[in-house]
Amino acid sequence: MSVPSLPSAKVIHVDTRGAVILSEESPETRDSRGIYFPNHIEPVSHIAVDVGGSLAKVVYFTRSPEPPSSPSVAATCGSSIASDISTPRSISPTGSHPEAPLPTTPPSSSIKRSGALTPLILEPHGHPVGNGLFGLNDGLLRDSFIRRTSHHFPGGSLNFERFETDNIDECVEFIQALIERSAQANQVPIEEMRKGVKIMATGGGAHKFYELFSDTLQVEVRREDEMECLIEGLKFITLIPDEVYYFSDELIHSVSNPSPPTASSSKSKLEPTLERPSPDPPKFGVTFESNPTPQFPCLLVNIGSGVSIIKVDEDGKFERVSGTSLGGGTLWGLLSLLTPATTFDEMLAFSEKGDNANVDMLVGDIYGQDYSRLGLKSTMIASSFGKVFRKGGGKGNFSPEDISRSLLYAVSNNIGQIAYMNAEKYSLDRIYFGGCFIRGHAATITTLSYAIRFWSKGTKRAVFLRHEGFLGSIGAWIKNIDPEESE
């Protein structure tokens, strides 16, 4: 009996019709829910890896006739409650009825299924092998057969995993286990499976850990440009229904169209001012885009360990125009020094319980009231960590929760203001925020939205993505097309 073999990589066309984001049950994995494509038929055997300074993000596709369970169930045993942002409840901006339901989200099960790559299996004599298709030696005949029979094999999901870069060996071990599991599922030798698998690597770690991936996994590793992958990832992910979201238009309308002053109003001669929205829960509801299309031109603010700000033109051409070293790594590093938190999710959990007014110096602490002439509310931050210093050298006791909230506001406000200034400079009204910094965290989203709307007087919008940390790896996954193959 001859040994089945795998074909070389081919051009992949992703069928996004009917795509749905799997349900979510855990804040820890709310940014890594799988996306199920019920109509996708082509086999896929490549894996994308985006290795940044803090996190390594992995994207891969597995075939299944039904939506697999949410990754969060296995992580938390189904004990957590879905967040407001994780489970869309707001109406689409195109909806005419306030209570119109969003598309149905496939339910999660209590057991996470082990997915496997399912490349096209070729075997002589036309016998089916494992989860593959019938083997046909003639290329034209095979393609014709796939077109006629592929409707029997629809469905699959894009899967998302992340690892700390300091533990890159865990990432490599995960991919190695995925390849081995795929070989078993397809009933082919591991050597043949490796020939059919390709690693699309991006980010700084694509260069730093190239030999580690190549030598350990024994597969082809292709390095892709980081910024190009970010833009390709943005183009693709914005095609997914209910992926893109933002705060409702209530705040924009209240600033752009303030109510006419009345005689009884004590602030009739003042510009309208905005009170900081309460982030727990958000004061302004979340709105999802149900008819998604890439919205260019735009500004992409990618918040990883540091921050890159990328201007994207109407035709998709891009340029990195700014950035800052004060990003997610800054927050992660300082909170590691100042609090007992050991993970980023613990830090975010601390911040949810904190009160930054115990740490920050507010306008009201200085003036005793609003500074109405400048449009500053008494609750606005005048100096981040301004209350920590004490005359005489004494230090106060500050809780990890209050410190976390204060630093989260400081970093987020700084990023928001830099993003606004670049959007203003290039006359861009739409600002996408990506990177693993946000994690669907309400306080972060609120702060960035508030900063953009406050400084722009409601003329610009902060837009967020449910898979915001995976833009680079998604883009690398999409880019599995050789110029020779395209021709």
pLDDT per residue over 300-346, tens digit each? 999 988 999 999 999 889 999 999 999 999 999 999 999 999 888 88
Segment 6-25 shows an average pLDDT of 67
Q: How do residues 195-219 score in pLDDT, each as one tens digit?
A: 889 999 999 999 999 999 999 999 9
Clarify whether residues 161 and 280 are in a common domain. Answer: no
Rounded distance between C-alpha atoms, residue 263 and residue 271, angstroms: 15
Q: How do residues 408-425 score in pLDDT, each as one tens digit?
A: 999 999 999 999 999 999
pLDDT of residue 250: 53
pLDDT of residue 438: 84
H or E stretch at 382: strand 381-383
Q: Which residue has the higher pLDDT, 200 or 286?
A: 200
Segment 156-173 shows an average pLDDT of 93
83: burial class by Cβ within 10 Å (0-12, 13-18, 19+)? middle
pLDDT of residue 92: 34
Residue 297 resides in a domain: yes
Residue 101 resides in a domain: no
Select, from the ranges 26-35, 79-88, 260-269, the one with the highest average predicted confidence (pLDDT). Answer: 26-35
Q: How do residues 379-404 score in pLDDT, each as one tens digit?
A: 788 899 999 886 555 667 899 999 99
> Which range among 48-62, 136-150, 155-169 shows the weakest confidence by mean pLDDT?
136-150
Segment 254-283 shows an average pLDDT of 43
Residue 5 resides in a domain: no
Q: Is residue 9 very low, low, confident or very high in pLDDT (cuts 50, 70, 90)?
A: very low
Clarify whether residues 52 and 196 are in a common domain. Answer: yes
Rounded distance between C-alpha atoms, residue 451 and residue 444, angstroms: 11
Is 80 exceeded by the pLDDT of residue 12?
A: no
Determine what percent of the chain is predicted with pLDDT higher than 90: 38
Clarify whether residues 34 and 69 are in a common domain. Answer: yes
Clarify whether residues 216 and 320 are in a common domain. Answer: no
Clarify whether residues 213 and 276 are in a common domain. Answer: no
Residues 112, 74 contacting (CB under 8 angstroms): yes
**CATH number of the domain encompassing residue 333:** 3.30.420.40
pLDDT of residue 355: 92
C-alpha triplet 121, 127, 133: angle, nearest 5°: 35
**What tokens were used for 458?**
């409601």
Residue 452 resides in a domain: yes
pLDDT of residue 252: 44
Clarify whether residues 207 and 65 are in a common domain. Answer: yes
Rounded distance between C-alpha atoms, residue 113 and residue 374, angstroms: 57
Q: Which residue has the higher pLDDT, 90 or 165?
A: 165
| Structural domain boundaries enclosing 348 | 244-261+270-465
Segment 74-97 shows an average pLDDT of 34
User: The whole model's pTM is what?
Assistant: 0.75
Residue 4 resides in a domain: no
Total count of domains within the chain: 2
Is 80 exceeded by the pLDDT of residue 176?
A: yes
Rounded distance between C-alpha atoms, residue 52 and residue 69, angstroms: 27
pLDDT of residue 455: 86
Clarify whether residues 279 and 416 are in a common domain. Answer: yes
Clarify whether residues 307 and 201 are in a common domain. Answer: no
Q: Is residue 56 very low, low, confident or very high in pLDDT (cuts 50, 70, 90)?
A: very high
Segment 113-139 shows an average pLDDT of 44
Clarify whether residues 274 and 228 are in a common domain. Answer: no
Clarify whether residues 186 and 213 are in a common domain. Answer: yes
Report how far apart, in Å, the C-alpha atoms of 282 and of each of 99, 151, 177, 193 are: 19, 44, 41, 48
pLDDT of residue 102: 33
| Ordered DSSP codes for 138-166 | SHHHHHHHHHHHGGGS--EEEEEEEEEGG
**What tokens were used for 146?**
């796939």
Q: Which residue has the higher pLDDT, 126 or 164?
A: 164
pLDDT of residue 264: 43
Segment 288-292 shows an average pLDDT of 74
pLDDT of residue 104: 39
Residue 13 resides in a domain: no
* Mean confidence (pLDDT) of the chain: 75
Clarify whether residues 294 and 402 are in a common domain. Answer: yes
pLDDT of residue 28: 62
Segment 434-459 shows an average pLDDT of 85
pLDDT of residue 153: 59
Q: Is residue 25 very low, low, confident or very high in pLDDT (cuts 50, 70, 90)?
A: low
Clarify whether residues 55 and 183 are in a common domain. Answer: yes
Contacts of 303 (CB under 8 A, 6+ apart): 327, 328, 415, 433, 434, 435, 436, 437, 438
pLDDT of residue 4: 44
Is 50 exceeded by the pLDDT of residue 139?
A: no
Residue 239 resides in a domain: no
Residue 100 resides in a domain: no
